[in-house]
Structure 1
């Protein structure tokens, strides 16, 4: 079972996204900000995908957090989401993909499945 770290500061968005991913068979771990997510990643090397909003209310944004996790040696793939499409053109590490909000269930699950595939390639 693939493990997804969901980093989201909006409780409603976290709940809906969690339900969709859990229903699809993913194991979920939650964090509400970048610092908490980095702590989880340090403790859980089994994280396959980090699914993060760009605009987190405290500390680093999702892209900065993803860069920090990569610098710390994390193998996890990253899905960065935002309703602010100004982020869509931000250069991302090859292990990252941008998903614009709003997204539907099919797009969410397809994007996470693709990220899991990239994480498996890193391990191989």
Structure 2
């Protein structure tokens, strides 16, 4: 089963994403910022990361740059979810494998995730 790390400092958004992804059969880990995400990655193997852009401590761009510089995580798909910064992210395909504009619907999220990681159960 594919495990996804959701990184967002807004608990309500993390919870909603978690429910949608778990309902589609994925396992979900959560972190409140990029630094916490790195701590989770030290302990848990994930197949995909979904991150917000604007967060305290380490934002989504800083997190993506750090992961792309690390051979262990370089190939891991990263989806950015953002409102105002989505255009900036689209100009950085070396950092982000997908960009979700806020607000987005669950079906769009699941379709993007399924395009980047194996579907649950096979």
* TM-score w.r.t. length of structure 2: 0.85
| 1:93 to 1:105, Cα distance in 2 relative to 1, 3 A | same
Q: Deviations over 1:89-117 (max 9, x none)?
A: 43131662111111111101011111215
* TM-score w.r.t. length of structure 1: 0.84
Structure 1 runs (4+) deviating above 3 angstroms are: none
Shift in Å, 1:86 = 4.3
| RMSD of aligned Cα (Å) | 1.7
Tell me, in whole angstroms, the C-alpha distance in 2 between the residues paired with 1:70 and 1:16. Answer: 27
Shift in Å, 1:5 = 0.3
* Aligned match of 1:103: 104
Return 5+ residue gaps in structure 1 as ranges: 118-124
| 1:27 to 1:89, Cα distance in 2 relative to 1, 3 A | closer
| 1:94 to 1:67, Cα distance in 2 relative to 1, 3 A | closer
Number of equivalent positions: 115
* Aligned match of 1:121: none
Question: Is the counterpart of residue 90 in structure 1 residue 83 in structure 2?
Answer: no
